[in-house]
Amino acid sequence: MKRILHIDDEADIREVLGAYLQCEGYEVVSVASPTEAFQAIQQAKPDLVICDLQLDESDGLQTIDRLRVMLPDVPAILLTGVLLDPHVAQATVQKRNLVYLEKTQPLQRILGEIRRLLA
Amino acid sequence: MKGTTDPDPMKDITLSRILGFFGAIFAVVVTVAVVAVVNINRAGASRDWVNQTYATISAFEDILATARAGDTDTRMFALSGDDRDLTAAREAFGAMDEHLQIAEALTRHTPAVQAAVSEVAVLARQRVTLAEAVWQARRENQPERLRQLLADDAGSAAISTIKRRLEKLRDDQFALLREREQVAYRQAQTTRWVVGTGVAGNLVLFCAVGWLIRDDLRTRRRAALALEEANARLEEKVRIRTADLTEANRRLSAENLERKWAAQSQDHQLRYNQAIVKSVNDLVFVLTRTLTITRLNPAVLRATGREETDLLSQPLARVVSLPGTPDPALSALTRALAEGRDLPDVQVVIAGRPARLNLFPLRDRDKVVGGIAIAQLEPLPGPTHS
């Protein structure tokens, strides 16, 4: 079973996305902050990281950069409720080898992207 | 659905049949046993009769033998005068008498034979009487009388008669023996047939019981197999139905989560947008096409010093006025919205302070449903330094 690390400071988002992915057969480790994320990957290495852009302690881009040091080959999705300019977003994620998804996307679309990355 | 469990009718029928067969087997065994016991009893009786008949024949032969021996010893005594011959003659006739009594006793259940034996006994005792006369004549030394007695006896056929009659009696007994033997043989054959037939019949009945049990077991095996198959089909249906329900449940959960996700996303967007609007220092009014205030940002409350409830649903003219123009209805703004055009950089007065207002039509799918008015207060004049 593939393990997904989900970082989001909003409990409702963690709950809904976690439940959905578990329904689809993934093991989901949901944490609220980058600190908890680092603790989690000490215990078990994830196969995929999903990170919110706006976090309490830091932002998603910085968190993913720090995680990449420990998990260089693990794919990552930047999930945000802030609607960025598509061109700006594309340029940002391409530089970091990320997948950018908006929270306004349906869960099915997010799942499709996860499946593609874990295939 | 029945409230109680019915007994298995197949089992009842089979049980009744098996009990019936065992009843028949028992009846055959009892019949064979009865016939065998009867024939064994008959054989016992027949054996007793045969023994008695042989004893009778033996007695007849002994009568003849002792009678002859008595005669011979009497003649020897007549010739020799030896007492030993006399003693032997007496013993022989004594034995003959005993044999006669035995024969009479053995034939007491057959009067005709007994009568014949009695006739032989009369003749035999006549021989004894003659012998006693000879013994007396010899002892008294009367040769003439002795000669006369012996001469008379030589011409008589007494011994021959006794012999003939005893042989006749013996032959009759042998004939009866043969007859009895035939009867006994037939009885033995009958017994053999009855036992054989009983054994064969019981074998057939046992085979029938075995067949019945085998048939019953086969039927039960088929029923069990059919039940097993029905259960398997039912389990398969249940499995498919459960899988369908599980899938439907998963789909419903996913749809539910999808709806929650969408709601949260919208809520997040709304809060985010509101946060943006609230953080703007410009005065933002959301208006209907008739310039009624439907929403505003905290900057308006700060600038006017009023509560939100005082301003919502009120005309924009309550807060905004056009300087030097008798147009309390702000008809220029209304007209701009009606025409769906922007109205930039309008000089207005808000809470007694001059401001610059930009009006933008609010469109929903190309239809103007209201307007957004954004006003920037003119900076207050700085403190005068002397």
Average pLDDT estimate for B138-153: 88
Q: What is the pLDDT of residue B250?
A: 87
Q: Which amino acid, one-letter code, is at B266?
A: Q
Q: What is the pLDDT of residue B44?
A: 83
Q: Which amino acid, one-letter code, is at A69?
A: V
Partner residue opposite B260 with nearest CB, options A16, A103, A104: A16
| pLDDT above 60 for B5 | no
Q: Among candidates A88, A13, A8, which has minimal Cα distance to A54?
A: A8
Q: What is the largest CA-CA distance in chain A?
A: 37
Q: What is the pLDDT of residue B2?
A: 43
**How close A14 gets to chain B, by Cα (Å)?**
10
> Phi/psi at B311 (nearest 5 deg)?
-105, -35
**How close B277 gets to chain A, by Cα (Å)?**
14
- Interchain CB contact of A16 with B (< 8 Å): yes
Question: Could you tell me the pLDDT band of residue B46, with boundaries at 50, 70 and 90?
Answer: confident
Question: Could you tell me the pLDDT band of residue A54, with boundaries at 50, 70 and 90?
Answer: confident
The answer to whether B261 contacts A106, with C-beta atoms less than 8 Å apart, is yes
Q: How far apart are CA B383 and CA B107, in angstroms?
A: 180
Chain B residues inside the 8 Å CB shell of A16: 257, 260-261, 264
- Interchain CB contact of A11 with B (< 8 Å): no
Chain B residues inside the 8 Å CB shell of A20: 254, 257-258, 261
Q: How far apart are CA B102 and CA B97, in angstroms?
A: 9
Average pLDDT estimate for B20-30: 90
Q: Calculate the CA B216 to chain-centre distance.
A: 9
| pLDDT above 70 for B382 | no
In this predicted structure, which of B145-154, B191-200, B354-363 has the lowest mean pLDDT? B145-154
Chain A residues inside the 8 Å CB shell of B258: 20, 106-108
Determine the residue of chain A that is closest to B250 in CA distance. A23
Partner residue opposite A107 with nearest CB, options B250, B258, B269: B258
Question: Could you tell me the pLDDT band of residue B326, with boundaries at 50, 70 and 90?
Answer: low
| pLDDT above 80 for B155 | no
**How close A68 gets to chain B, by Cα (Å)?**
28
The answer to whether B258 contacts A108, with C-beta atoms less than 8 Å apart, is yes
Partner residue opposite B258 with nearest CB, options A83, A103, A106: A106
The answer to whether A107 contacts B265, with C-beta atoms less than 8 Å apart, is no
Q: What is the largest CA-CA distance in chain B?
A: 228
- The sign of the CA dihedral A111, A113, A116, A118 is negative
Residues in contact with A48: Cβ distance below 8 Å, sequence separation at least 6, in sequence order = A2, A3, A4, A5, A74, A75, A76, A77, A114, A117, A118
**How close B255 gets to chain A, by Cα (Å)?**
9
Question: Could you tell me the pLDDT band of residue B294, with boundaries at 50, 70 and 90?
Answer: very high
| pLDDT above 60 for B330 | yes
Q: What torsion, rounded to 10 degrees, do the Cα atoms B163, B164, B166, B171 define? A: 130
Average pLDDT estimate for B65-93: 92
Q: What is the pTM of this model?
A: 0.54
Partner residue opposite B254 with nearest CB, options A12, A20, A103: A20
pLDDT in tens, B296-306: 999 999 999 99
Determine the residue of chain A that is closest to B246 in CA distance. A23
The alpha-helical segments, DSSP class H, found in B140-157 are 143-155
Name the strand (E) or helix (H) holding A76: strand A76-80
Which of A8, A14, A20, A79 is best to mutate for the B interface (most B CBs within 10 A)? A20
Contact between residue B250 and residue A23 where contact means Cβ atoms under 8 Å apart? yes
Determine the residue of chain B that is closest to A110 in CA distance. B258
Question: Could you tell me the pLDDT band of residue B153, with boundaries at 50, 70 and 90?
Answer: confident
Q: What is the pLDDT of residue B238?
A: 96
Average pLDDT estimate for B251-262: 91
Question: Could you tell me the pLDDT band of residue B7, with boundaries at 50, 70 and 90?
Answer: low
Partner residue opposite A104 with nearest CB, options B250, B253, B265: B265
Q: How far apart are CA A23 and CA A14, in angstroms?
A: 14
Contact between residue B104 and residue B169 where contact means Cβ atoms under 8 Å apart? no
Partner residue opposite A12 with nearest CB, options B262, B264, B272: B264
Q: How far apart are CA A98 and CA A49, in angstroms?
A: 10
CA atoms within 13 A on the CB side of A95: 10
- Please give the full DSSP string across B234-303, using - where no structure is assigned: HHHHHHHHHHHHHHHHHHHHHHHHHHHHHHHHHHHHHHHHHHHHHH-SSEEEEEETT-BEEEE-HHHHHH
- The sign of the CA dihedral B142, B146, B148, B149 is positive
Determine the residue of chain A that is closest to B275 in CA distance. A82
The alpha-helical segments, DSSP class H, found in chain B are 9-80, 83-106, 111-139, 143-155, 158-279, 298-304, 308-311, 331-339
Average per-residue pLDDT in chain B? 88
| pLDDT above 60 for B384 | no
Average pLDDT estimate for B85-113: 92
Residues in chain A: 119
Q: ipTM more than 0.90?
A: no
Chain A residues inside the 8 Å CB shell of B253: 19, 23
Q: What is the pLDDT of residue B386?
A: 42
Q: What is the pLDDT of residue B150?
A: 85
- Please give the full DSSP string across A2-68, using - where no structure is assigned: -EEEEE-S-HHHHHHHHHHHHHTT-EEEEESSHHHHHHHHHH---SEEEEESB-SSSBHHHHHHHHH
Contact between residue A83 and residue A104 where contact means Cβ atoms under 8 Å apart? yes
**How close B256 gets to chain A, by Cα (Å)?**
9
Q: How far apart are CA A66 and CA A57, in angstroms?
A: 13
Contact between residue B372 and residue B287 where contact means Cβ atoms under 8 Å apart? yes
The answer to whether A81 contacts B258, with C-beta atoms less than 8 Å apart, is no
Beta bridge partners of A52: A79
Across the A:B interface, residue pairs with CB atoms under 8 Å apart total 43
Average pLDDT estimate for A58-83: 87
Average pLDDT estimate for B251-257: 90
Q: How far is CA B148 from CA B68, B133, B297, B382, in A?
A: 20, 11, 191, 214
Q: How far apart are CA A49 and CA A21, in angstroms?
A: 13
Determine the residue of chain B that is closest to A11 in CA distance. B264
Partner residue opposite B268 with nearest CB, options A17, A23, A103: A103
